[in-house]
Chains A and B, each alone.
Chain A
């Protein structure tokens, strides 16, 4: 996939945006990305907008068309895509395909979510729309419940401890302190974590990413369109989207997600690189235990060793494999439809050498965006020019 590049990125802060609509957030991020890409607005030939719960929580749908109108881009396909928490990653994949297919020379991928105005119970209900209702809704499963089960299964098989998982939180919250786009940067101690309220045993409040508002956007163009830009474009070496089985009981075991394994494997093959070649990763730590199982599923270490890597400091910014130097979903926030594009925003800045938590000599970066109970997943491998 070296014929298409990222020529511009934009993002709002993730967190609470009182009195601002989803469309206003998306317009803000999109304009940043378009200005950076040095493109005239009329060169954007397609818009893909990732969003999950706007209809449920705000009553507003048709976001892609509304955004096109706000941006003054008319007469182009403007499409909302949805894949639960992977909606942003899916929007990016579709923008890449639109340019690669020759449908257009430049496409805008944007993700947005507005959630903080709603009560937590309403947000939980909205997020539960990503469950397989026929199989799992009646049992009262929630997403904290799912990841609590994942942790229990992982602990039972590999001994993954509270201490290992707390190290993920301490690292990501600390990373978030320096990221101006993060809402929950903080120095936290093991005692703070263990004193926070229990949500679904053993998951406590600190193990859960915050409900957030926010938007992120990426402009994808043909490589020749961006070759003379002031800011060097970022290569897209692989962009993979896969579907998987949604129902909880369809998983072979509960210690990981087959969709992540499949997407990462395909991405490494398509990009022609190995896990050891990756300099920086932004992955889907919707709950603290998720960072450990995701990193194992992506093939960075063998199963059962993710907790050890975190505890030994190997995933710190200056470690063997920096994971979530942005603060991840835990500290940056998780405006669901925007998250996948927010990860790309972070990795692009790492590859440009302009990240507030810069990983030294970062040349190849990876993003991972997981939807629902593993029903959809996107993985991207990006490289500096």
Chain B
């Protein structure tokens, strides 16, 4: 993988221009200060695992039909993002990860050290 390919894929965040609150999904009114001054910014794609689990029986309406590792990551921008770890195994809380890409619009994370 080239150095350029090794850069994490970015993911959008909705940032309040008044109070700085950051939301992981489309937001038109800041839930903290009610401002409508919302900007879309791109996360740099790095964060740390808060918790992970293996979903062994995905919901019937899920786009994933096999077991997968669901994780919640606190991005460096302090927003929580849920996504999948690229392998189906538990990841210790505090592990540094980066966004590898997206599948069905779900961020896929990997270790910062992995290629």
Chain A residues within 8 Å of B, Cβ to Cβ: 121-122, 124-125, 128, 132, 134-142, 144-145, 148-150, 152-153, 156, 198-203, 245, 247-251, 253-254
Contacts and interface: CB of A to CB of B under 8 A. Distances in A.
A141 B56 contact: no
B31 A245 contact: yes
A139 B70 contact: yes
Given A138-B106, A149-B70, A254 B56 contact: no
B53 A145 contact: yes
B25 interface: yes
21 contacts: A124-B57, A128-B61, A132-B25, A137-B62, A139-B84, A139-B106, A140-B55, A140-B64, A141-B70, A145-B70, A150-B51, A152-B53, A152-B93, A153-B93, A156-B94, A198-B54, A249-B24, A249-B79, A250-B23, A251-B80, A253-B50
B68 interface: yes
B50 A135 contact: no
Interface residues of B, number: 35
Interface of B: 23-26, 31, 50-64, 68, 70, 72, 79-84, 90, 93-94, 104-106
Would you call the interface of chain B mostly helix, strand, loop, or mixed? loop
Would you call the interface of chain A mostly helix, strand, loop, or mixed? helix
A138 B104 contact: yes
Given A124-B60, A249-B24, A250-B31, A142 B55 contact: yes
Contacts of B26: 134
Nearest to B81: A249
A247 B25 contact: yes
Nearest to A197: B56
Contacts of A199: 56-57
A142 B58 contact: yes
A156 B82 contact: no
